[in-house]
Amino acid sequence: MPIIRNFIRRTSAAGLREYFTSQQIAIGGVDWSQDHATVAKNIIQLVDHLDPEDKVRLRVDAERIYEMADEIGQAALLSVVSDVASYSGLDSAVERSRWVYLHEPDNFRHAEDIRYADQYRYGRNWSGYQVDAGISLATDQVSLDTFKAQLKSLFGLGDKVKLELFERTLVDDEGNDVDVVQVMVYQEGLPDSYLEFEGEDIVSRIRRPVSEHAITYAPDTGVIEVVAARRERRDTIAKAFTEDLLKQQVEADSIPLRRYDLTPLLQDQPLDWDAEDGIESVQVVMMKLKDLASDGRIQLEVPAKREIGFHEYAHEHFGGRNPLTSGSFTPTQAQLSIRFHPENGSNRHKVLPVKITMPNGCDLRSRTERERLIGEKYLKRWGLLEEVA
């Protein structure tokens, strides 16, 4: 199986020995003193001869460990691990994931819950909601039981519901850490049947799969985020959460899902505007780009007061190696400068800086209502913003 082979090849010989010993999977005939490539090759050859139950266990473990080795998983693990020094001292993401899996299994499961919420954040399975800031979350047993009972009756699934609450941080649209409470909801689903061998006979087994939902709540901002497969279920969870755990009878306002696309800014095309909005000029003043072939990143920045345009500046300094036109880079962040004509006889020009971070970050939320309306109007016109219902 590819996942097992990848796990073995990307784990050190010492790490593999610790894994098989800890999980009590018998893998005899391996000389652990040999170099990693030889040890890995020998283990891969022996995997096919493992006891079937051990082989299944290895596959499941490898999948969980490997899944937490990506960027989102590593950030989640780092946020929960107790022994940071041991974790940080390991050489690779797979090694770090394996170490937490074996040494801090409860924290590993905790990190999986964080990854679940963060992986689907701003995606098709995400919805955001807004309540007044500063409302405390009720975590007493009566409130939690009421919330669980509400979910049971609304979803019409199984009777078993489990809640897990923990505190963590989220990164907001401007890159700041925000303290949140995450609530994991596990609910028993409707019964399902599957076939299984029993000796030489095929028998039918009944199982009840578990549905998993994630809620994050930021008391300082009043933002509720829900990850669940269906939109109507997310709305139901947000309503029950607001009523039972925030003690608010008013429904939370839905936050539209916004997706940004910075690729139009790679082209040297004018960003137009309407005269009645009092705009004097619009400039791209900064762009961060990521190398599509590797992890390399570059940043281009031109002071807004300089007469030279952003694309002209890039062409002047890079020529045929211009990252904006090479096709080898993709933008990850950009800043625009919207300059307004002076008002009421003043000589001062008001400037609205707008910073956009892929895929969903924009600092317009912290601006005045007028600035937000103007900014969003033109981000849509320039093809930089799409609102998804």
Task: Give the model confidence (pLDDT) of 106-118 as tens digits.
Answer: 999 999 999 999 8
Structure-block tokens of residue 143: 């409130």
Cis link prior to 359 (omega < 30° from 0)?
yes
Residues 267, 235, single domain; the answer is no
Residues 250 and 332 reside in one and the same domain: no
User: Residue 175: its pLDDT value, please?
Assistant: 62
Q: What pLDDT is stored for residue 166 in this prediction? A: 92
330 DSSP β-pair partners: 290
Question: DSSP string covering 154-214, please?
Answer: HH---S-EEEEEEEEEEE-TTS-EEEEEEEEEEEE---EEEEEEETTEEEEEEE-PEEEEE
Are residue 154 and residue 233 in the same domain, yes or no?
yes
pLDDT confidence tier of residue 388, bands split at 50, 70 and 90: low
Which residue, of 226, 255, 284, is where some domain finishes?
A: 255
Are 361 and 242 part of one and the same domain? no
Residues 6+ apart with CB under 8 A from 87: 77, 78, 81, 96, 99, 100
pLDDT at residue 154 above 80? no
What's the structural domain count of the chain? 3
Picking from 119, 134, 150, the residue at the C-terminal end of a domain is 119
Residues 269 and 249 in one domain: no
DSSP lists the bridge partners of residue 130 as 223, 253
Parent domain of 355: 260-388
382 three-class SS: coil
Average pLDDT of the segment spanning 358-364: 78
Q: 138 and 46 share a domain? A: no
Q: Domain boundary residue among 91, 119, 147?
A: 119
Do 254 and 128 contact (CB within 8 A), yes or no?
Answer: yes
pLDDT band at 304 (very low <50, low <70, confident <90, very high): low
163 and 265, same domain (yes or no) = no
Confidence of residue 82 (pLDDT cuts 50, 70, 90): very high
Neighbouring residues of 119: CB distance < 8 A, sequence distance ≥ 6: 72
**pLDDT given for residue 158 in this prediction:** 62
Q: Tell me: do 356 and 377 sit in the same domain.
A: yes
Distance from chain centroid for Cα 22: 31
Q: Are 202 and 96 members of one domain?
A: no
352 and 267 share one domain: yes
**pLDDT of 337 over the 80 cut:** yes
Tokens 């599957």 correspond to: 194
Cβ neighbours for 40, distance < 8 A, ≥ 6 positions apart: 8, 9, 11, 13, 16
pLDDT at 47 over 90: no
Q: Quick one: 105 and 154 in the same domain?
A: no
18-27, 131-140, 146-155, range with the lowest pLDDT = 146-155
Hey, is 58 helix, strand or coil?
helix
- Residue ranges with strand state E in 219-268: 223-227, 253-255, 257-260
What does the alpha-carbon distance between residue 7 and residue 5 come to, in Å, rounded to a whole number? 5
pLDDT at 303 exceeding the cut of 80: no
Q: Are 338 and 238 within one domain?
A: no
